[in-house]
Structure 1
Amino acid sequence: DGKRLFYNEQQTDKDGLFSIAVQGEHEHEACEAFTVRSPTSCNLKTDTSRGPVYLTHNNGINSDERKTGPFAFRSTTNHP
């Protein structure tokens, strides 16, 4: 029904990594991680500013850790 069930905002560390702890199985829910803002001048969102996260053990991944693709922002200034 498109209703948001959970929202948690985090910051990346010095290496650009982040972690969000989530409890339970979410096999039948659409889970997504996305960028909110950038602390630098490169702050225009791109097509890679969001991505799905599959939060279930029923997917063949033998780990509790889930990864997203890299997120990116674009500069507001054109560079040659």
Structure 2
Amino acid sequence: MVKTRLVNTSGVKIVTLDPQRSKNCIRRRPRPPPPPPFPPSVGRLHLEPAADAVLLKIRAAQERLNFEIRRQYSLYEETLKKGQ
């Protein structure tokens, strides 16, 4: 048996030639399955459900922090207006 590798655009084929030429065997390497589609809510960053819950907690904390920063800034602007 003589084994020859042929490189093709569709993948690698392993061709086995029988010396008596009674039959030729062509085997194709199976392709891996396509990756799962990304959920639209998360985008390309898809993690385990526990990690998703942590991300949601972080986002909620960021929103609370941004709200507090805006509130403090508006209070600061009011005190500046009163001082003038």
TM-score, reference length from structure 2: 0.23
Greater share of helix: 2
TM-score, reference length from structure 1: 0.24
Question: Which structure exhibits the higher relative contact order, with contacts defined as CA atoms closer than 8 Å and separated by 6 or more residues?
Answer: 1
Greater share of strand: 2
